[in-house]
């Protein structure tokens, strides 16, 4: 079994550092070509010495085995600290314990505990495994009973699509913190005001650092689809700026990098503990945004 990560290197300590944290999110590859693209992005972004990285599950909890394998490889073959993704989707408690054990064996001691989306149709009804868990706070509690893990959770500044409203989202985050969560990462943010509203409402009740997720837009059609799936509206002003670039992919990408840079700086100015870049396994746009930010000047 790999040695545990020292407490001073765990995610909450990094989020409390003197400089804003920087982190990246990858997806498990679906092919050999995708695998090569992923590792090219990993190696390029490793040079920035990010505070942590994560590898998502596919839609509806698919790709779990590949997610675990890639996370283990990052832990063993790079200098970066990976967060192990874990969802309740289609898994019994026994199966969840097994995945947690795999992460622990690779030295992964930071877990992102998520309920996850329904398999097949992310907008369909959620049905728990008959021997599994129903909510993320239950998963947080399970992980905390199984060893020396630091647990993070998801947050939804624009309100979870299944939520009854903002107040319920705040209550859910509070319950996750009460279960043992020590940090949160949001879905992609397009409006710093929605992030600040959620952060401040939670901070009034619990100490839980919330890092905003940010995705540089390089393809308007792709981001619209993702926005629909997550229930995260894209502000009209952002859509107008991207549409103004027309059908020129280079112009759309340049506008997306510019918008992401502005949003990231606004979020940092608002007091966000860092930025979590959603990379889609491509490094160049995230690298450009990072280079445009003032935090690039303070990185050590």
In the predicted structure, residue 9 carries a pLDDT above the cut 90: no
Band of pLDDT at residue 18, cut at 50, 70 and 90: confident
Contact indicator for 22, 290 with CB cutoff of 8 Å: yes
In the predicted structure, residue 262 carries a pLDDT above the cut 70: yes
Give the Cα separation of 29 and 75 in Å (integer). 17
Give the Cα separation of 73 and 122 in Å (integer). 29
Length of the chain: 300
User: Domain 7-290 maps to which CATH number in 3.10.105.10, 3.20.20.220, 3.30.930.10, 3.20.20.150?
Assistant: 3.20.20.220
Q: Is 25 a catalytic residue?
A: yes
Q: Nearest 5 degrees, angle CA 235-CA 239-CA 240?
A: 115
In the predicted structure, residue 299 carries a pLDDT above the cut 50: no
Band of pLDDT at residue 170, cut at 50, 70 and 90: very high
Cα 148 off chain centre by: 21
- pTM exceeds cut of 0.75: yes
In the predicted structure, residue 59 carries a pLDDT above the cut 60: no
Give the Cα separation of 117 and 112 in Å (integer). 15
* Phi-psi category of residue 208: left, alpha or beta, with phi > 0 → left and psi -120 to 50 → alpha: beta
Band of pLDDT at residue 122, cut at 50, 70 and 90: low
Q: Which of 25, 72, 138, 182 is catalytic?
A: 25
Secondary-structure breakdown of the chain: helix, strand, coil percentages, each rounded to the nearest 5: 45, 15, 40
The residue with greater pLDDT, 86 or 57, is 86
The torsion angles phi and psi of 84, rounded to 5 degrees, stand at -85, 120
Domain boundaries, the chain: 7-290
Cα–Cα distances (Å) from 6 to 9, 150, 180, 205, 227, in that order, read 5, 11, 19, 29, 37
Instruction: Give the per-residue pLDDT at 128.
Output: 81
């Amino acid at each position: 079994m790999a040695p545990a990560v020292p407490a001073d290197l765990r995610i909450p300590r990094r989020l409390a550092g003197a400089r804003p944290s920087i982190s990246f999110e990858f997806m498990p590859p679906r092919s050999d070509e995708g695998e090569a693209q992923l590792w090219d992005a990993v190696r390029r972004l490793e040079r920035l010495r990010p505070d942590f990285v994560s590898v998502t599950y596919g839609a509806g909890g698919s790709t779990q085995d590949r997610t675990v394998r890639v996370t283990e490889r990052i832990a063993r073959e790079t200098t970066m600290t990976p967060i192990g993704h874990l969802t309740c989707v289609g898994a019994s408690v026994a199966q969840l314990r097994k995945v947690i054990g795999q992460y622990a064996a690779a030295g992964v001691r930071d877990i992102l505990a998520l309920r996850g989306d329904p398999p097949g149709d992310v907008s369909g009804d959620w049905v728990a495994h008959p021997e599994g868990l129903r909510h993320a706070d239950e998963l947080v509690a399970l992980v905390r009973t199984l060893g020396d893990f630091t647990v993070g959770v998801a947050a939804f500044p624009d309100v979870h699509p299944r939520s009854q409203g903002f107040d319920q989202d705040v209550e859910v985050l509070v319950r996750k913190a009460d279960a043992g969560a020590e940090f949160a990462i949001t879905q992609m943010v397009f409006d710093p005001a929605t992030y600040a509203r959620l952060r401040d409402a939670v901070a009034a009740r619990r100490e839980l650092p919330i890092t905003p997720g940010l995705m540089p837009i390089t393809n308007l059609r792709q981001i619209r689809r993702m926005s629909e799936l997550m229930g995260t509206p894209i502000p009209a002003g952002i859509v107008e700026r991207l549409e103004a670039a027309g059908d020129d992919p280079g112009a759309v990408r340049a506008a997306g990098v510019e918008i992401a840079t502005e949003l990231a700086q606004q979020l940092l100015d608002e007091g966000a503990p860092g930025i979590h870049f959603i990379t889609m396994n491509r490094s160049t746009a995230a690298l450009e945004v990072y280079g445009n930010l003032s935090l690039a000047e303070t990185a050590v």
